[in-house]
């Protein structure tokens, strides 16, 4: 896997994007206006004329620069834009689903939420056919056969036929997808976790929650984050200013203004000597220290450092 890095343009507020390998060696010299992380072996890059194409992990162009905007590959398809309409391309850069949507999202479990008018959302299958007609204010990805959907300002969950399996009763700006059979939802201003039947497994008593990963989920009480297990038992008391999800036994965390990575037991795996830490993607993670950012290995070794004030290439948000 290659990783995007940014180098400030001389006499400009903008950066150019290139790519390094896990050793920190520059494989793709900085030449692009934008560059994204790799998914399914391809990364979207944008030229100075704002046209988007894809490179492979050797840095070679695999899909020509013919798109106005793209997402990332999931399940063999990638969201692509042509003028003002969105569709889906395959790994060869061919339209698998012709552009016809005003808003669209990535595929998950063979389904993608889309909208023809930007106001009501439904789901299409890989043929581009609506299997659930547009009827939701917001529609999230499928996970464990269910998707969180919003109607009249409340969240519920539907199955792949559009049948409501968990009634519209949850609040907030989001409802989580199911991971490890549980999903975080907000009820009467507090967050907890439900199972796929809609029953409370962990009662709503938190200010916020993140997804379960490797048996634990970050939860927030009195402005601080900690970890709970599947039964809601406190594993790490809520003391961190920030705490991410576990990945390969470590999570980004911040305490008293210093950031590093902790174990599921709360021990520092990478010392808190940074200003900000992002999650690991493969072998490397981005950390920020002062005016620069760095890529580090899981043992804390720095393999690449940016110039001062370079734009941080944070990994994409995942939920």
Q: What percent of the chain has pLDDT over 90?
A: 94
Does 246 reside within a domain? Answer: yes
**What mean pLDDT is predicted for residues 10-23?**
91
Asked if pLDDT for residue 107 goes beyond 80, the answer is yes
Asked if pLDDT for residue 11 goes beyond 90, the answer is no
Q: What percent of the chain has pLDDT over 70?
A: 100
Q: CA-CA distance, 257 to 241, in Å (whole number)?
A: 8
Does 123 reside within a domain? Answer: no
| pLDDT in the model for residue 319 | 72
| pLDDT in the model for residue 289 | 95
Does 257 reside within a domain? Answer: yes
Does 171 reside within a domain? Answer: no
Which domain covers residue 237, as residue numbers?
214-268
Per residue, the 3-state secondary structure of the chain, as one string, reads CCEEEEEECCCCCCEEEEEECCCCCEEEEEEECEECCCECCEEEEECCCCCEEEECCCCCEEEEEEECEEEEEECCEEEEEECCEEEEECCCCCEEEEEEECEECCCECCEEEEECCCCCEEEECCCCCEEEEEEECEEEEEECCEEEEEECCEEEEECCCCCEEEEEEEECCCCCCCECCEEEEEECCEEEEECCCCCEEEEEEECEECCCECCEEEEEECCEEEEECCCCCEEEEEEECEECCCECCEEEEEECCEEEEECCCCCEEEEEEECEEEEEECCEEEEEECCEEEEECCCCCEEEECCCCCCCCCCCCCC
Does 121 reside within a domain? Answer: no
| pLDDT in the model for residue 83 | 86
**What mean pLDDT is predicted for residues 127-132?**
98
Does 308 reside within a domain? Answer: no
Per the structure block, which two tokens stand in for 255? 């305490």
| pLDDT in the model for residue 292 | 96
Domains in the chain, number: 1
Does 88 reside within a domain? Answer: no
Q: CA-CA distance, 223 to 221, in Å (whole number)?
A: 5
* Banded pLDDT at 318 (limits 50, 70, 90): confident
* Banded pLDDT at 69 (limits 50, 70, 90): confident
Asked if pLDDT for residue 13 goes beyond 90, the answer is no
* Banded pLDDT at 16 (limits 50, 70, 90): very high
Q: What is the pTM of this model?
A: 0.93
Does 46 reside within a domain? Answer: no
Q: Are 161 and 195 in contact (CB under 8 A)?
A: no
The model's pLDDT over 226-276, given as tens digits with 9 standing for 90+, comes to 999 999 999 999 999 999 999 999 999 999 999 999 999 999 999 999 999
**What mean pLDDT is predicted for residues 157-177?**
97
Average pLDDT, the chain: 96
């Amino acid at each position: 896997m290659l990783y995007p890095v940014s180098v400030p343009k001389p006499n400009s507020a903008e950066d150019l994007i290139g790519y390094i390998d896990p050793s920190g060696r520059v494989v793709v010299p900085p030449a692009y206006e934008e560059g994204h992380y790799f998914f399914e072996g391809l990364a979207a890059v944008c030229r100075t004329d704002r046209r988007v194409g894809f490179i492979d992990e050797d840095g070679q162009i695999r899909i020509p620069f013919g798109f106005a905007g793209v997402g990332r590959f999931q399940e063999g398809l990638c969201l692509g834009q042509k003028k003002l309409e969105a569709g889906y391309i395959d790994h060869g850069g061919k339209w698998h689903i012709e552009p016809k949507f005003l808003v669209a999202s990535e595929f998950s479990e063979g389904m993608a939420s889309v909208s023809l008018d930007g106001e009501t959302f439904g789901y299409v299958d890989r043929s581009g056919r609506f299997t659930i007609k547009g009827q939701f204010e917001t529609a999230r990805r499928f996970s464990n056969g269910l998707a969180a959907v919003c109607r009249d300002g409340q969240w519920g969950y539907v199955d792949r036929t559009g049948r409501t399996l968990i009634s519209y009763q949850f609040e907030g700006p989001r409802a989580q997808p199911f991971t490890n059979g549980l999903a975080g939802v907000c009820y009467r201003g507090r967050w907890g976790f439900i199972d796929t039947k809609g029953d409370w497994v962990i009662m709503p008593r938190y200010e916020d929650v993140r997804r379960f990963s490797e048996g634990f989920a970050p939860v927030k009480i009195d402005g601080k984050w900690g970890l709970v297990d599947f039964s809601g038992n406190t594993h790490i008391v809520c003391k961190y200013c920030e705490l991410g999800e576990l990945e390969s036994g470590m999570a980004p965390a911040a305490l008293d203004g210093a950031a590093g990575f902790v174990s599921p037991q709360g021990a520092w795996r990478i010392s808190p000597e940074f200003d900000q830490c992002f999650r690991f993607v493969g072998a490397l993670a981005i950390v920020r220290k002062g005016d620069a950012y760095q890529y580090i290995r899981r043992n804390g070794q720095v393999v690449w450092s940016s110039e001062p004030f370079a734009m941080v290439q944070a990994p994409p948000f995942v939920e």
